[in-house]
């Protein structure tokens, strides 16, 4: 944990990738074109993170609220996710990236869920960048699921009713460090139900840049600014 005056770069960066649809609409193109371009941008950022000193990258790919979008867009997004995993599996394994997913998987189609399970297993031993992708993720949903898991263990007697328990041990992100920095692209200034428990003391950066235009240079500039922040974690 960083203290006051520490200018180290963030170990864990989380990104709310916003603006794919607007990027495409600005060019008169279908929204899915923007999502495909956004997936290409993810590849660039993943490769850039180790050189920028980032050990953990968590990206918000699809929220529990995104099911409200058109069937065409939702199906298109699921196809993009599946193709990304299939095409990048070899390179991620070779480059030492460990890939994990957070969110409720039950609603995802079987092919995508199998691909997710497969790449998690294949990259489990990697020690390079830790890439976490939030798919069908919502912070409130995660907290509800965590509370149910804890209640079940209390009911079964595995946890005593008076025992002190850390809810973090029941979250999707158990074992992950909390994000030091959360970046949201596209000019929106809200957190959108993303990692509410884990980001209690994260720094936030909101940028006007739409996600498909967000380059490693943009990330590097934000990381440089992070070093100027005074993080006190509630202290004086």
Annotated binding site for substrate: 19-23, 31, 35, 63-65, 67, 69, 184, 190-192
Question: Considering 55, 66, 126, 193, which one is annotated as catalytic?
Answer: 66
Cα separation, 86 vs 91, whole angstroms: 10
Asked if 169 is an active-site residue, the reply is no
Residue with tokens 């007697």: 157
Asked if 130 is an active-site residue, the reply is no
* Residue 97 near residue 136 (C-beta atoms within 8 A): no
Question: Considering 18, 172, 178, 180, which one is annotated as catalytic?
Answer: 18
CA 137, 142, 144, 150 dihedral sign is positive
Closest C-alpha to 78, from 37, 36, 43, 46: 36
Annotated binding residues for Mg(2+): 18, 203
DSSP 29: -
| Element of type H or E holding 63 | strand 56-63
Neighbours of 141 (CB within 10 A): 17
Cα separation, 63 vs 60, whole angstroms: 7
Could you list the active site residues?
A: 18, 66
């Amino acid at each position: 944990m960083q203290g006051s005056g520490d200018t180290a770069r963030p170990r864990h960066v989380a990104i709310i990738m916003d603006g794919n649809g607007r990027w495409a609409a600005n060019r008169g193109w279908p929204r899915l074109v923007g999502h495909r371009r956004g997936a290409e941008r993810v590849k660039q950022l993943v490769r850039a993170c180790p050189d920028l000193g980032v050990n953990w990258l968590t990206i918000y790919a699809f929220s529990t609220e995104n099911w409200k979008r058109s069937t065409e867009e939702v199906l298109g997004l699921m196809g993009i996710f599946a193709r990304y995993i299939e095409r990048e599996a070899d390179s991620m394994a070779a480059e030492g990236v460990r890939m994990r997913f957070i969110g409720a998987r039950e609603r995802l189609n079987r092919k995508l869920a199998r691909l997710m399970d497969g790449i998690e297993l294949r990259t489990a031993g990697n020690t390079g960048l830790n890439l976490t992708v939030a798919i069908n993720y919502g912070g409130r949903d995660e907290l509800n699921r965590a509370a149910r898991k804890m209640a079940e263990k209390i009911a079964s007697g595995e946890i005593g009713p008076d025992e002190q328990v850390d809810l973090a041990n029941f979250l999707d992100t158990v074992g992950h460090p909390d994000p030091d920095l959360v970046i949201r692209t596209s000019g929106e200034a809200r957190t959108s139900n993303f990692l509410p428990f884990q980001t209690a003391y994260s720094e936030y950066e909101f940028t006007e840049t739409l996600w498909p235009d967000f380059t490693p240079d943009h990330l590097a500039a934000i990381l440089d600014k992070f070093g100027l922040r005074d993080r006190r974690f509630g202290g004086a």
